[in-house]
Amino acid sequence: MEHIIVFALICYIVFIHIQMNKKNHLIEVMVEKLSKIEKDWDTNHILTLREKYRIQQSETIISRNRLFDEPVLKFIFSNENDSKIFLHYTKDEFTAKKISREGLLFTDSFEKTAEQVINDSVDLNYKHNIRKYYGKYIVVICIPNEIYNHYNEELRLLNKTNSQPEKVLSDIPSFFNDNDDEVFTLSKSFIKGFINYETGVIVKNSEFNKVVKSYEYQDQLN
């Protein structure tokens, strides 16, 4: 009986030894292949692959961002010499069309829903990267400097320094929503239209800038 046990142990030891030799051989082969790859992939080769990947990624991003196409930039900034320009991002075309027809609703601070921009690629790209996650449709808002400055001064004279001209430039009085927040509606006259920054499609608003006078919104100051 003891001889059988000893023989079984010897067989097991031999089996383990064979398996370890196989693993060692496999490891040696893998190391040899990796060494060969490492020699073949010199620094220039790695840098070339990295550059190809960067270009590919850039092309993908550019193909999905038409914001800097000439027609789009021209649409956004054609009024830059006499107007303040703001961008409001939204997720769907239905909402963008609704804003064009009815005006832009906002509560509290206008800056929370719209970003003022200037015709500078660095400034525009920075603000676009912050806001783009709100949606691919960009509503373009243009408020003439004459009108904006007039109501800014009126608010100052009335000692309403915490208010904003955008809250005055409405065709309807403000109201309170279900959360008891005061809601303001920027007039559709200042909504130039909207763009899809992924496709570059531009939709103009026929209600934009229809003979807006400086004193048209005077009643909203009260």
Task: List the pLDDT tens digit at each of the 222 positions of the chain.
Answer: 655 655 555 655 655 656 666 556 655 655 565 455 445 555 555 555 555 555 555 544 444 799 999 999 999 999 999 999 999 999 999 999 999 999 999 998 899 999 999 999 999 999 999 999 999 999 999 999 999 999 999 998 888 766 899 999 998 999 999 999 999 999 999 999 999 999 999 999 998 986 565 556 666 666
Clarify whether residues 77 and 182 are in a common domain.
yes
For residues 154 and 157, give the distance between their C-alpha atoms in angstroms, rounded to a whole number.
5
3-state secondary structure of 179: coil
Range of the domain at 103: 70-221
Asked whether residue 19 falls in the same domain as residue 83, the answer is: no
Q: Pick left, alpha or beta for residue 200 (phi over 0 → left; psi -120 to 50 → alpha; otherwise beta).
A: left
Grouping H, G, I as helix, E, B as strand and the rest as coil, residue 135 is coil
Question: 0.75 cut: is pTM over it?
Answer: no
Which of these three, 45, 63, 81, is where a domain ends? 63
**CA gap 100, 98 in Å, rounded:** 5
Please tell me whether residues 31 and 89 are part of one structural domain. Answer: no
- Distance (Å, rounded) from C-alpha 167 to C-alpha 217? 10
Tokens of 126: 């920075």
